[in-house]
Structure 1
Amino acid sequence: MILCAPLSLPAGTLPKSMSDVAELENFVIQDCGSCHGLALKGGLGPPLRPENLDHLPEAAIAAIIREGIPGTAMPPWKPLLTPADIEWISHQLKTGKLVSP
Protein backbone atom coordinates (compact mmCIF):
# COMPACT_ATOMS: atom_id res chain seq x y z
CA MET A 1 0.00 0.00 0.00
CA ILE A 2 1.32 3.47 -0.89
CA LEU A 3 0.60 5.90 1.91
CA CYS A 4 2.95 8.72 0.96
CA ALA A 5 1.59 9.15 -2.58
CA PRO A 6 -0.81 12.00 -1.73
CA LEU A 7 2.10 14.16 -0.62
CA SER A 8 3.04 14.65 -4.26
CA LEU A 9 -0.25 16.43 -5.04
CA PRO A 10 -0.95 20.13 -4.72
CA ALA A 11 -2.81 21.24 -1.59
CA GLY A 12 -6.56 21.02 -1.97
CA THR A 13 -6.48 17.75 -3.90
CA LEU A 14 -5.56 15.49 -1.00
CA PRO A 15 -7.99 12.95 0.39
CA LYS A 16 -9.23 13.97 3.83
CA SER A 17 -7.36 11.28 5.76
CA MET A 18 -5.05 8.32 5.38
CA SER A 19 -8.07 6.03 5.68
CA ASP A 20 -9.46 7.84 2.64
CA VAL A 21 -6.22 7.03 0.81
CA ALA A 22 -6.60 3.34 1.68
CA GLU A 23 -10.24 3.40 0.56
CA LEU A 24 -9.33 5.08 -2.73
CA GLU A 25 -6.49 2.65 -3.36
CA ASN A 26 -8.90 -0.22 -2.71
CA PHE A 27 -11.49 1.41 -4.99
CA VAL A 28 -9.03 1.63 -7.88
CA ILE A 29 -7.81 -1.95 -7.50
CA GLN A 30 -11.21 -3.53 -6.87
CA ASP A 31 -13.76 -1.35 -8.69
CA CYS A 32 -11.64 -0.10 -11.57
CA GLY A 33 -9.76 -3.41 -11.62
CA SER A 34 -13.00 -5.34 -12.13
CA CYS A 35 -13.02 -4.09 -15.73
CA HIS A 36 -9.45 -2.90 -16.27
CA GLY A 37 -7.81 -5.93 -14.64
CA LEU A 38 -6.62 -6.19 -11.04
CA ALA A 39 -3.11 -5.22 -12.19
CA LEU A 40 -4.69 -2.51 -14.41
CA LYS A 41 -3.23 -4.23 -17.48
CA GLY A 42 -6.58 -4.30 -19.26
CA GLY A 43 -9.57 -6.59 -19.49
CA LEU A 44 -13.05 -5.49 -20.53
CA GLY A 45 -11.65 -1.95 -20.32
CA PRO A 46 -8.27 -0.75 -21.61
CA PRO A 47 -5.09 -0.86 -19.52
CA LEU A 48 -4.65 1.98 -17.03
CA ARG A 49 -0.89 1.92 -16.67
CA PRO A 50 1.23 5.06 -17.21
CA GLU A 51 2.57 3.85 -20.55
CA ASN A 52 -1.02 3.47 -21.77
CA LEU A 53 -2.09 6.88 -20.45
CA ASP A 54 0.93 8.93 -21.53
CA HIS A 55 -1.07 10.60 -24.32
CA LEU A 56 -3.74 11.87 -21.91
CA PRO A 57 -3.31 14.78 -19.50
CA GLU A 58 -4.52 14.23 -15.94
CA ALA A 59 -7.50 16.52 -16.63
CA ALA A 60 -8.65 14.22 -19.45
CA ILE A 61 -8.31 11.15 -17.22
CA ALA A 62 -10.33 12.95 -14.54
CA ALA A 63 -13.04 13.84 -17.08
CA ILE A 64 -13.32 10.20 -18.16
CA ILE A 65 -13.62 9.05 -14.55
CA ARG A 66 -16.12 11.80 -13.73
CA GLU A 67 -18.33 11.58 -16.84
CA GLY A 68 -17.74 8.02 -18.08
CA ILE A 69 -17.72 7.18 -21.78
CA PRO A 70 -21.19 6.99 -23.36
CA GLY A 71 -21.85 3.83 -25.34
CA THR A 72 -19.24 1.84 -23.40
CA ALA A 73 -19.09 -0.02 -20.10
CA MET A 74 -17.29 2.96 -18.50
CA PRO A 75 -19.79 4.56 -16.11
CA PRO A 76 -19.66 8.08 -14.72
CA TRP A 77 -18.24 7.95 -11.20
CA LYS A 78 -19.21 11.51 -10.19
CA PRO A 79 -22.20 10.29 -8.15
CA LEU A 80 -19.85 8.26 -5.90
CA LEU A 81 -16.54 10.15 -5.90
CA THR A 82 -15.73 13.70 -4.86
CA PRO A 83 -13.84 15.98 -7.26
CA ALA A 84 -10.76 15.64 -4.98
CA ASP A 85 -11.06 11.84 -5.10
CA ILE A 86 -11.22 11.92 -8.90
CA GLU A 87 -8.19 14.23 -9.12
CA TRP A 88 -6.25 11.98 -6.73
CA ILE A 89 -7.10 8.83 -8.72
CA SER A 90 -6.20 10.56 -12.01
CA HIS A 91 -2.82 11.56 -10.61
CA GLN A 92 -2.13 8.08 -9.27
CA LEU A 93 -3.05 6.47 -12.61
CA LYS A 94 -0.98 8.94 -14.62
CA THR A 95 2.10 8.48 -12.44
CA GLY A 96 1.68 4.74 -11.92
CA LYS A 97 1.76 4.98 -8.14
CA LEU A 98 -0.95 2.32 -7.77
CA VAL A 99 0.54 -0.28 -10.09
CA SER A 100 3.26 -2.76 -9.35
CA PRO A 101 6.17 -2.96 -11.83
Structure 2
Amino acid sequence: MTRIIVAITAILLAGIGSVVSAEVPLQRQTELLHLLKHDCGSCHGMRLEGGLGPALTAQRLAPYGIDFLALTIIQGRPGTPMPPWRPFISEHEARWLAQQLKQGIRP
Protein backbone atom coordinates (compact mmCIF):
# COMPACT_ATOMS: atom_id res chain seq x y z
CA MET A 1 0.00 0.00 0.00
CA THR A 2 2.84 2.38 0.86
CA ARG A 3 4.43 1.74 -2.53
CA ILE A 4 1.20 2.67 -4.29
CA ILE A 5 0.93 5.93 -2.35
CA VAL A 6 4.57 6.76 -3.12
CA ALA A 7 4.06 5.99 -6.81
CA ILE A 8 0.92 8.13 -7.04
CA THR A 9 2.63 10.99 -5.21
CA ALA A 10 5.60 10.82 -7.59
CA ILE A 11 3.31 10.93 -10.62
CA LEU A 12 1.38 13.91 -9.26
CA LEU A 13 4.56 15.80 -8.38
CA ALA A 14 5.97 15.18 -11.86
CA GLY A 15 2.85 16.75 -13.36
CA ILE A 16 3.06 19.76 -11.05
CA GLY A 17 6.72 20.22 -11.97
CA SER A 18 5.92 20.47 -15.65
CA VAL A 19 3.25 23.10 -15.00
CA VAL A 20 5.58 25.15 -12.81
CA SER A 21 8.44 24.89 -15.31
CA ALA A 22 6.15 26.29 -18.01
CA GLU A 23 5.58 29.58 -16.16
CA VAL A 24 6.71 32.61 -18.11
CA PRO A 25 6.46 36.20 -16.80
CA LEU A 26 3.28 37.98 -17.95
CA GLN A 27 5.14 40.64 -19.96
CA ARG A 28 7.08 37.96 -21.84
CA GLN A 29 3.87 36.00 -22.46
CA THR A 30 2.46 39.09 -24.18
CA GLU A 31 5.59 39.36 -26.32
CA LEU A 32 5.48 35.67 -27.24
CA LEU A 33 1.82 35.90 -28.23
CA HIS A 34 2.65 38.91 -30.40
CA LEU A 35 5.44 36.88 -32.03
CA LEU A 36 3.00 33.99 -32.53
CA LYS A 37 0.47 36.21 -34.27
CA HIS A 38 2.78 38.30 -36.41
CA ASP A 39 5.78 36.09 -37.08
CA CYS A 40 4.41 32.55 -36.90
CA GLY A 41 1.13 33.74 -38.41
CA SER A 42 2.89 35.00 -41.52
CA CYS A 43 3.52 31.38 -42.57
CA HIS A 44 0.99 29.40 -40.54
CA GLY A 45 -1.91 31.76 -41.24
CA MET A 46 -3.08 34.67 -39.11
CA ARG A 47 -5.53 32.33 -37.33
CA LEU A 48 -2.93 29.54 -37.35
CA GLU A 49 -5.14 27.45 -39.63
CA GLY A 50 -2.38 26.89 -42.18
CA GLY A 51 -0.77 28.69 -45.07
CA LEU A 52 2.79 28.19 -46.29
CA GLY A 53 3.26 26.18 -43.09
CA PRO A 54 0.85 23.65 -41.58
CA ALA A 55 -1.99 24.57 -39.24
CA LEU A 56 -1.03 25.06 -35.59
CA THR A 57 -4.43 24.18 -34.17
CA ALA A 58 -4.83 21.96 -31.11
CA GLN A 59 -6.37 19.24 -33.28
CA ARG A 60 -3.47 19.29 -35.75
CA LEU A 61 -0.86 19.28 -32.97
CA ALA A 62 -2.57 16.63 -30.81
CA PRO A 63 -0.28 13.75 -31.93
CA TYR A 64 2.88 15.67 -31.03
CA GLY A 65 4.42 16.06 -27.59
CA ILE A 66 5.48 19.34 -26.00
CA ASP A 67 9.16 18.42 -26.29
CA PHE A 68 8.89 17.74 -30.03
CA LEU A 69 7.02 20.98 -30.66
CA ALA A 70 9.42 23.05 -28.54
CA LEU A 71 12.40 21.52 -30.35
CA THR A 72 10.78 22.34 -33.69
CA ILE A 73 10.31 25.96 -32.58
CA ILE A 74 13.90 26.25 -31.33
CA GLN A 75 15.69 24.37 -34.14
CA GLY A 76 13.34 24.90 -37.06
CA ARG A 77 12.81 22.16 -39.64
CA PRO A 78 15.74 21.61 -42.00
CA GLY A 79 14.68 21.36 -45.63
CA THR A 80 11.55 23.43 -45.01
CA PRO A 81 10.87 27.18 -44.69
CA MET A 82 10.52 26.74 -40.88
CA PRO A 83 13.39 28.78 -39.39
CA PRO A 84 15.02 28.23 -36.00
CA TRP A 85 13.72 30.69 -33.40
CA ARG A 86 16.56 30.05 -30.92
CA PRO A 87 17.98 33.58 -31.36
CA PHE A 88 14.68 35.04 -30.19
CA ILE A 89 13.25 32.69 -27.57
CA SER A 90 14.58 30.32 -24.95
CA GLU A 91 13.81 26.61 -24.74
CA HIS A 92 11.69 27.37 -21.67
CA GLU A 93 9.66 29.91 -23.67
CA ALA A 94 9.35 27.49 -26.59
CA ARG A 95 7.87 24.90 -24.22
CA TRP A 96 5.40 27.49 -22.91
CA LEU A 97 4.43 28.43 -26.46
CA ALA A 98 4.02 24.75 -27.42
CA GLN A 99 1.75 24.23 -24.41
CA GLN A 100 -0.37 27.21 -25.41
CA LEU A 101 -0.71 25.87 -28.95
CA LYS A 102 -1.67 22.40 -27.72
CA GLN A 103 -4.35 24.01 -25.55
CA GLY A 104 -5.82 25.73 -28.62
CA ILE A 105 -4.75 29.34 -28.09
CA ARG A 106 -5.58 31.70 -30.95
CA PRO A 107 -3.59 34.92 -31.31
Q: TM > 0.5 between the two?
A: yes
**Residue 55 of structure 1 pairs with residue 63 of structure 2:** yes
Shift of 1:20: 1.0
User: Which is worse superposed, 46-55 or 78-87?
Assistant: 78-87
Shift of 1:12: 2.8
Q: Secondary structure at the match of 2:82?
A: coil
For 1:18, the equivalent position in structure 2 comes to 26
**Residue 66 of structure 1 pairs with residue 37 of structure 2:** no
Query: Structure 2 regions of 5+ residues with no counterpart?
Result: 1-17
Equivalent pairs counted in the alignment come to 90
For 1:3, the equivalent position in structure 2 comes to none
Q: Secondary structure at the match of 2:71?
A: helix
Larger helix percent: 2
Greater C-alpha radius of gyration: 2
Shift of 1:83: 1.5
Shift of 1:13: 2.4
Could you list the per-position Cα deviations for residues 48-88 of structure 1 after superposition, in whole angstroms to 9, with x for gaps in the alignment? 00111111111111111011100110011112101121011
Residue identity matched to 2:21: G
Report the identity percentage. Answer: 37
1 or 2 for the larger relative contact order (CA 8 Å, sep ≥6)? 1
Kindly report the root-mean-square deviation, in angstroms, between the aligned alpha carbons of the 2 structures. Answer: 1.4
Q: Secondary structure at the match of 1:26?
A: helix
Taking the aligned partners of 2:76 and 2:58, their CA distance within structure 1 comes to: 19
Taking the aligned partners of 2:21 and 2:80, their CA distance within structure 1 comes to: 31
**Normalising to structure 2: TM-score of the pair?**
0.78
For 1:46, the equivalent position in structure 2 comes to 54
